[in-house]
Amino acid sequence: MRSRQQLKTFVLWMLAVMCVCTPAFADQSVARRWNELLLESIRRDLGRPTIHARNLFHESAAMYDAWAVYDDVATPWLVQEHHVAADVAYARQVAISHAAYRVLVNRFSTSPGYAAMAPRYTALMVEYGCDPAFASTVGDSPAAVGNRIGTAVVMFGFGDGSNQLGAYANRIYTPVNEPMIVALPGNAGVFDVRRYQPLALAYFVDQNGQPIPTGFPPFLSAEWGNVTPFAMTSADRVDGTRNDVTWHVYNDPGPPPALNGVGDGLWRRGHEMVAVWSSHLDPADGVTWDISPGNMGNVTAPTSGEYEQYYRYTQGGDIGAGYATNPVTGVPYTPQFVKRGDYARVLAEFWADGPSSETPPGHWFTILNYVMDHPLSNRRMGGVGAVLDPLEYDVKAYLALGGAMHDTAVSVWSVKGWYDCSRPITVLRWLCQQGQCSDPALPHFNLNGIHLIPGQIELITAETTAPGQRHAHLTGHVGEIAIRGWRGAGDLTDPANQVAGVGWILGTLWWPYQRPTFVTPPFGGYASGHSGFSRAAARVLERITGSRYFPGGLGEFVARQNQQLVFEDGPSTDVTLQFASYYDAADQSALSRIWGGIHPPFDDIPSRGIGDRTGPAAFAFAQSLWGHPPCAADLDGNRRVDGADLGEVLSHWGEAGPADIDHDGIIGGADLGLLLAAWGNCP
């Protein structure tokens, strides 16, 4: 079938009839080469999305500064110097290499993958004619300039609030809940089910027979709101106090729904929807979907709390109906019918941020690189004006996307740390342990229990455990709760060649669609990192390329039969993920986390709103550094104020968001007036 070691490989963004291959190294800029080394370093490092968003930003900023110091118009981000050179292209190549090298060595010298990556750093330096051992920051040679920039970025990182010198550890945060031992049923020891709970993947039993949890990581970056952002300011921040400690919260979406509090119904239904969607992960259930852009995507997510109608609760997915024709070519998309169980599993693993991935912020850099490689792409920033040389385009694009990913990480994790919310595995096991809350006349009734949903979440009875009945294998558990969902990694002895499938399992042993060595990311749920990163990236890519659509109106990722999946064998047939727009890709990234058992829907929509703010703000700030005067009414970043910008204002009238040009908290008449007054080309 395939080796367990065959991990996902990215064959992204292809035309419908032709393969788009990565260009030869000779066709790639020096910035692209160093960016690819950074992405590979991330894949070989620990899965730390916040830290790697910062790494992506800082390396991008170092490379941009090393380019900008030789430009007459651009302003560097950190190192305010200006230099001249007889051969500017060569000077930039050397300065960028030294700057990027210094940052990579600093950030990954303690990484588990450093032994493999360090020779590649050295080899690239030598390829560009640079001496890795030359570390002097004195003088105006390109090597010294690059070292000075790289060192400045490193020193900046030592004081940016990330606690890099303390291995990025939290200084004050401690969880209120004891770890859950995931191998054991239930969640009896949880103190507050609404709050984050660590997961212990191993345990030992003491002399009194008590299981003692071991092997649980700390909450990653609970205090990331203390980190210096790129484009966000104090105007984007509110401060909260918990246990006499001040917490900085950027782009605060407000509190999530809460059990027995405001939004109790949303809280319960959201987690129950995660359980329902885990029943979609079986390619043998006979359900097929057309997953082409002709049937999926092209939907606007709600921005308010009334978002339940956006999701198809029972069937899965969202209400997007797709495009009648390809918005770029005008030709209808070819239908692609696949098994829902294959599609949902491929989606969950494609966007996963677990082991061997470049994490969500790095994933969007991979997407940007493949978009730039597409033969229909051009290097006109914003899709207008002169064609830029590859290096200028790359350093500007990386700065904008890197700044957006970093600000999104600071914002989303400031929310995660402040609200400190639980994950579905904590909640679903606890709810099922309490019982059912649907019918007082039925056994195991508890107001804090889970709702019964016929065919999905049921009470185990003597009748249902009779021989030949659906719960027959759960005999001995009469009165408990059963969930029809993914059977879990524990049902697999050979994941490379087996499929766990879907069946009735004990609710107290519910398991997300993840590896047994990972289970759930080690940080709070609210708000979703994937949703925030992906929405911000879509906003930035639209502004970089001048279009919301992939080149040719189609981006594709091919998952090969019985080769692509890692959590278990699959997919059972080839599956091609297809996206018309960057927003369609971002939406599917968000949905993947529900199918993966990682987020309920109320983690999703508020975080998309965060990305809607961080992405445009980062691009606008990057633009100001490039030497372009700000043009606030140019909402899509194409250097024109036109009908597309007007549509953005009108479609979000009365809401908050990027179209709030005057920043008064609501999109209204004043914003419309400013837009009309700026109509036409930006200065």
Quote the CA–CA distance of 263 and 256 in Å, as a whole number: 8
Q: Report in angstroms the alpha-carbon separations of 102 from 50, 92, 135.
A: 20, 15, 9
Is the distance from CB of 42 to CB of 54 less than 8 angstroms? Answer: no
Is the predicted pLDDT of residue 662 greater than 60, yes or no? yes
The architecture of the domain spanning 30-168 is: Up-down Bundle (1.20)
| Amino acid residing at 352 | A
Is the predicted pLDDT of residue 5 greater than 60, yes or no? no
| pLDDT at residue 18, as a whole number | 28
User: In 3-state terms, what secondary structure has residue 502?
Assistant: strand
Quote the CA–CA distance of 658 and 230 in Å, as a whole number: 17
Give the mean pLDDT of the chain. Answer: 93
| pLDDT at residue 202, as a whole number | 86
Is the predicted pLDDT of residue 599 greater than 70, yes or no? yes
How many of the other CB atoms lie within 10 Å of CB of 170? Answer: 16
Is the predicted pLDDT of residue 207 greater than 80, yes or no? no
Is the distance from CB of 199 to CB of 211 less than 8 angstroms? Answer: no
What are the structure tokens assigned to 400, written together? 């904008």
Place 23 in a pLDDT band, splitting at 50, 70 and 90.
very low
DSSP state of 241: E
Quote the CA–CA distance of 167 and 297 in Å, as a whole number: 41
Is the distance from CB of 661 to CB of 675 less than 8 angstroms? Answer: yes
How many of the other CB atoms lie within 10 Å of CB of 206? Answer: 9
What are the b/e assignments for 634-666, b being 16+ CB within 10 Å?
Answer: bbbbbbbbbeebbebbeebeebbbbbbbeeeeb
Quote the CA–CA distance of 683 and 680 in Å, as a whole number: 9
**pLDDT tens-place string over residues 557-570:** 999 999 999 999 99
pTM metric for this prediction:
0.91
Is the predicted pLDDT of residue 285 greater than 90, yes or no? yes
What are the structure tokens assigned to 459, written together? 């009470």
Is the predicted pLDDT of residue 391 greater than 50, yes or no? yes
Which segment of 228-232, 560-564, 565-569, 658-662 scores lowest on mean pLDDT?
658-662
For residues 605-624, average pLDDT? 97
Pairing of strands 288-290, 337-339: antiparallel
Quote the CA–CA distance of 226 and 417 in Å, as a whole number: 11
Quote the CA–CA distance of 239 and 247 in Å, as a whole number: 5
**pLDDT tens-place string over residues 311-366:** 999 999 999 999 999 999 999 999 999 999 999 999 999 998 655 789 999 999 99
Quote the CA–CA distance of 53 and 543 in Å, as a whole number: 20
* Domain boundaries, given as residue ranges, for the chain: 30-168, 424-509, 640-681
